[in-house]
Amino acid sequence: MKALKWILIVIVVILLLLVGIGYVKPKDMSVTTTEEINLPPAKVFHFVAGFVDRTAWDPWIKADTAVKCSFDIKPGYVGSVYSWQGPKIGSGKMEVDSIAFGSYLLNKVSFVPGQFIPEEWIFTPSDKGTNVKWTITMSSASPFGRIMNSLLKKTIQKTMESGRDELKKYIESHDIRLSTLTELGIEEYPPVDALTVSGVVTMQEMPVWFSQNMGKVMAAIQAQNVQPQGMPFAVYSGFDQTTGKFIMTAGMPVSAGARSSGEVVLKNYKGFVALKGLHRGPYDELTGSYEALEKYAADNGIKLGDTAWEFYLNDPAEMTDPTLLLTVIAMPLK
C-alpha cells in the first residue's frame, strides 16, 4: 500500500509540474516561414488565395497519397473552401476568411467543427518579385495543449518549410494566370446605334487611347442628353502585321436622338452572329482568351471573320480586384 501511495504522489507531482510548465508556455504558438518568389504579388496572391493547384505543393496533402480533395471557389476569393479527407491526415477544410487583394490573406483551417486555426499570408513587393510570409498560429487555453503545441512546433516548422520550397518551385515553373474564360458558344447580337470614336493604334497605345476616347463619348452623351443603352464596347479590325497597328473603335449604345459631333460619330451597327466567351480577369490577359477562342473555333470548324468586339460589363475604376473584371469577347462569324 505504501508503494502505491508513493506512486500516486509521484504521478500527482508530475501532473502538477506539467500543469505549471504548461501555464508558463504562451497561449498562442506561431510558426512562420518566408520566401522570395520571382513573380509579381498579384499572381502569387491569386495562386495561393484561389487554391490554384494547391495539391501540387501543400506539404500535408503531399504526405498522404490516398487523400481526396475538393474545392468550392468563389469570385473574389472570400468564402472559397478547400476540403480534404485521407487515412493519414484525416478530414478537414480551409476557408478564405478575409483578403486585401495582392497583399494579405487569412484562411480559417478546421479539423473539428466550430474550431479554427488561422493561416495568414502577407505578400510584399520585392526587387525580384514578391516576399511571402506564411504564418500558422495554434492556440490553447489548456496547459497540456500548450505543451503539445510546443512539442509540435519544430515538426510544423519543418513541414511548412518543405511546402514553401515546393510552392516556390512550382509557381516559378508554371504560367500563372489571373483570368478564366467561360461560357463559350455561339450568340446572336442585335442591331445597335452607338456613339463612337475610331482611330489607328498599336497594342501599346490601346489602353490610354481607349480611356481618352471613351471619355469623349461619355461627354457627348451627357451634352446631347441621351441615355446609354448597354455596356461600353470596343471593336477591333484591320490589323496590319507589318506595322502592328489596327483600327479601334470605342463606343457606347445610346437611345434615339443621338447625333454625330466632331470626333464622336453616330454609327448604326447591323446585327451579327458571333463566337463569344466571358473573360473574367485583367485586361492584359485578354490575349490568352482570344487564343483560346480561336482554338475552340478551329477545333469545332467555326469560321471567324476579321473583326472582334469586347463588351465591358463592369467599371475597372470600381474594381480593386482585377480578377472580378468581366469582359465579353464576341468574334463575328464569316
Q: Render pLDDT for 278-315 as a digit per residue (tens, 0 to 9).
A: 999 999 999 999 999 999 999 999 999 999 999 999 99
| Number of residues written out for the chain | 334
178-209, pLDDT tens digit by residue?
A: 999 999 999 999 999 999 999 999 989 999 99
Domains identified in the chain and CATH numbers: 26-172 (3.30.530.20), 180-332 (3.20.80.10)
- Report CA-CA distances (Å) from 270 to 169, 231, 261: 51, 17, 21
- β-pairing, 90-100 with 81-86? antiparallel
- β-pairing, 115-125 with 265-269? unpaired
Q: How many angstroms separate the CA atoms of 176 and 291, rounded? A: 16
Q: Are the beta carbons of 324 and 314 closer than 8 angstroms?
A: yes
The pLDDT score that the predictor gives to residue 5 is 54
